[in-house]
A and B are shown apart, each in its own frame.
Chain A
Amino acid sequence: MTELTQEIAVAERTKRRKLPEAWFAWMLVAPAIIFIAVIVAWPLAETIRLSFMEADLGGEEFVGAANYADLLDSRKFHETVVRTFYWMFLSVGLKLILGLIGATLLNAAIPGRALFRVLVMPPWVIPIAIGCIGWLWLYNGYFGLLSGLGQRLGILDGPFEFLAYKQSAFYSAIVTDVWVGTPMVTLFLLAAMQGVSRDLYEAAWVDGAGRWYRFRRITIPQIMPVLVSMALLSAIWTFNSFEIIWILTEGGPRGATTTLIVDTYKTAISNYKFGEGAARAVIIVILLALFSLIYLFFLNKVNRKYGVK
C-alpha cells in the first residue's frame, strides 16, 4: 500500500513537471516558424515598409504612397508590365510545347532512349551564367555562329548583332530562356507520362485507337494536372527570371528586354533608389499572387476533372 502511494506521488510530480501539450506543439514548429520569419516574413515586411519611404544611401524619409503613385502614372512602367507578361506567356508557352514534344519523344520506345534522356539535361544542369555566356557568343555579330550561318545561307547581308536591336534582343533572350527552362518541363512531363498505366494504352489499342487518338484521349488528360502545375511554376520562374536577361542584355537595348524584375534591380541596386525599388518589388508580389490565385482556381478545376483516380 505504501509502495502504491509512493508511486502515485512520483507520477503526480512528473505530471506537474510536464509542459502543456500545446506548448510542446509550439516548440516543435518553432524552428520552422523562426526560419520562415527570418527568410520570408521579415524581408517582406521590410520591403513593404521601404516602399513607403524615399530611401537612398543618404537615409530614409516617409513619403506615403508617393512611390506607388509615380509608378501608376509612369508610361514606361506600364510598358514594362505588359512586356513582362508578354515575355512570360511567350516563353512559358514555348517551354510547354517543346517540353511536351520532348517528353513524348523520350517516352517512345526507341533504341538509345536512356542516352537521349541524359542529353536533354545540360541546359538545365550547367550553371546559367556559363550557358548564357555561350549564347552571348552565339549571338555575337562578328564571331557568332548564328550570324555566320545566316550569312552563309544568304539570310543575312552582313554581320548581325542579335542583341543590339530591340526586337531581335527580346526574342533572342526568349530563345535562351526557353533553352534553359525546357529540360525541366520535359523531365516533369516525362515522369507524368511514365506514370500512365500501360494497360490504358493497350486497352485503347485493342479498341482500335491510333497513336494520335491515344495521345489526345489518354496521355494529355492523364498528365493534365502535372501540365497545369508545371505551367504555373514555370510562369513564376519566368516572370522572375533575372540572370539570363541581365547577362545577355542588362535589360537593353533601350529597355527592350527590361522586365519587372530587371527594372526593380536597376532601380534599387544600380540607381540606389531603394524606396522606388521596393514599391516595384511589392507590385511584383501582388501581381504574382493574383496570377497564382487565378491559376490555383484553374488547377483545382483541372484536378477535379482529371484527377479522380
Chain B
Amino acid sequence: MATLDLENICKSFGPAKVLHDIDLAIRDKEFVVFVGPSGCGKSTLLRIIAGLEEATDGRIVIEGRDVSREDPVDRGISMVFQSYALYPHLTVFENIAFPLRVQKMTQQDVNQRVNRAAEILQLTDKLTLKPGQLSGGQRQRVAIGRSIVREPKVFLFDEPLSNLDAALRGDMRVELSQLHRELNATMVYVTHDQVEAMTMADRIVVLNGGRVEQFGSPMELYHHPATKFVAGFIGQPNMNFVPGTVVEANGDGVAIDTVDGARLVLPVDRAGVSTGDAVEIGIRPEDVRLGDGLGLNIRVLERLGGVSIAHGALSDGTRFCASLDGNARIEEGVPVGLTVDPACAHVFKADGTVLRRQAAPALVA
C-alpha cells in the first residue's frame, strides 16, 4: 500500500514563499500528475517529496511513515529527471545498475534485475552502448530503467518528456501509461503540458502560484473546473472568457448580457451572484457551433482536417476561439454567428471562482 500523503507542505526560499500549505492524499497505485505553468512550484514540490529539498514546514508520509527528515534513499522513492541524468561514461547496463551497485548487491542479482528492466523497456540489445549512442527516447527509457530496478514504493517523474520531439512524446505517453499498469506502482509526474496530464493521469493536481487550485480526475477538471485558472489551463484550445453582466438570477439559472450584446441564460447555481454583478462566461471552443448568438470576426483560420480552429474577436474586441467542423464554410475576414450550448458554459465570478453547473455532462469515472 504505497500511499503518499503531503500534509501542510510549505516552502520558502529566503523571503519568497513558493509553496503554501499543500495538502494532498495520493492513493496506492495512483498515477498523479502535477501540472501548472512555469514557476508554480510543481518541481519544487516533487523535489521535496524526493528529499532533494527540505520543506520549510509540513510532513511527507509514505505508506503511513513520516519520511520528512529522511535521506532520499531511505524514503523508498526513485526519480526520473528532466535531463535523464545518465552517466555518460557508463554503459546502459551500468547506468541501470547504478543504484544496485551502491547497495552492493551481488552480481547475480544485479544481472537479474537489470535484464528484467531492460526487457520491460525493450533495451536488451542496447545494454552495452553508452548513453551518447542512444536516441532521446532510448535515453528516457534507460533513466526509467534505473528507477525501476530499485523497486521503489513511489516513482517520481520530473518533466521526463519535455526534451523529446512531439511525435516521440506521444509514443512515450502511451508507453508510460502501459508501464504504470505493468508495474502497478504509485507514480507522481510533473509536467507543464496539460495534454500529458489529461492523457496519463488518474488524478491531476493543478498548481498555481504555489497553491493547489484543484485536485481531481481529468474529466472532473475539464467539466467542473473550480476556478477560472483551471478552466483556462485544462483543455486545448484554451477556454474563451467572455465578460458579461448578470441581468437576472433565479432557480433556473443566471441570465447574462455579454458585452457583445448577446443574452445567454445559463443553468448554473445563482448562489453568490446578484443582478448587476460582473461575471465572465467560460465557453470552450468545442462547445460552439455555427448559428445565431455571438458574432465572431475570424482573423486566422486553422484547418486541421477533422476540425477547423477559428481565431478572432467578438464585436467588442474580446478574443475568441471556436473549434468547428473540418469542412465548415467559413473564411478569414468574414464574420460568422456562433451558437453557445448553455449547458456547456461556465460562469466565473469576479474572484475567479466558478458557479456550480446544474446540468453537467455525465462524468467519466
Q: Residues on A close to B: CB < 8 A?
A: 197, 199-200, 202-209, 213, 217-218, 221-222, 224, 305-306, 308-309
Contacts and interface: CB of A to CB of B under 8 A. Distances in A.
A207 B150 contact: yes
A218 B87 contact: yes
B44 to A, nearest CB: 13
In terms of DSSP, what is the predominant structure of the interface of chain A?
A: helix
B133 A308 contact: yes
A203 B73 CA distance: 10
A224 B90 CA distance: 13
B251 to A, nearest CB: 56
Interface in B55-100: 71-73, 77-79, 81-83, 85, 87-90, 98-99
B102 interface: yes
A208 B150 CA distance: 11
A305 B87 CA distance: 12
B126 to A, nearest CB: 14
Given A197-B83, A208-B102, A217-B87, 17 more contacts: A197-B85, A202-B79, A203-B146, A205-B71, A205-B73, A206-B50, A206-B77, A206-B78, A207-B73, A207-B78, A207-B99, A208-B72, A305-B89, A306-B88, A306-B89, A308-B132, A309-B132
Nearest to B81: A199
Nearest to B52: A202
A11 B115 CA distance: 69
B51 interface: yes
Nearest to A225: B89
A213 B102 contact: yes
Contact of A221 (B51, B72, B73, B89): B89
Contacts of A213: 102
B244 to A, nearest CB: 48
A204 to B, nearest CB: 7
A308 B130 CA distance: 7
B88 A308 contact: yes
Interface residues of B, number: 27
A205 B78 CA distance: 10
Contacts of A204: 98, 102
Given A199-B81, A199-B83, A309-B132, A207 B88 contact: no
25 contacts: A197-B85, A199-B81, A199-B82, A199-B83, A200-B85, A200-B87, A202-B52, A202-B85, A205-B71, A206-B52, A206-B77, A206-B78, A207-B73, A207-B98, A207-B150, A208-B102, A209-B102, A217-B98, A218-B87, A221-B90, A306-B88, A306-B89, A308-B88, A308-B132, A308-B133
A308 B90 CA distance: 9
A213 B87 CA distance: 14
Contacts of B146: 203, 207
Contacts of A222: 88-89
**Residue of B85, B90, B132, B133 ringed by the most chain A CB atoms within 10 A:** B85
B206 to A, nearest CB: 26
Nearest to B158: A199
B106 interface: no
Contacts of B98: 204, 207, 209, 217
B103 interface: yes
Contacts of A206: 50-52, 72-73, 77-79
A209 B71 CA distance: 11
B81 A202 contact: yes
A33 B179 CA distance: 62
A308 B85 contact: no
Q: Shortest 9 CB-CB distances between A and B: which pairs?
A: A208-B73, A207-B99, A203-B85, A199-B85, A308-B132, A221-B89, A206-B72, A306-B89, A308-B130
A53 B141 CA distance: 69
Contacts of B99: 207-208
B83 to A, nearest CB: 5
A165 B18 CA distance: 66
B103 A208 contact: yes
Contacts of B52: 202, 205-206
Nearest to B133: A308
A217 B52 CA distance: 20
Contacts of A202: 52, 79, 81, 85
A17 to B, nearest CB: 50
Contact of A207 (B90, B102, B130, B132): B102
Nearest to B72: A206
A247 to B, nearest CB: 42
Contacts of B103: 208
Contacts of B71: 205, 208
Nearest to B143: A203
Contacts of B78: 206-207
Nearest to A200: B85
A306 B87 CA distance: 10
B85 A205 contact: no
**Residue of B79, B89, B130, B150 ringed by the most chain A CB atoms within 10 A:** B89
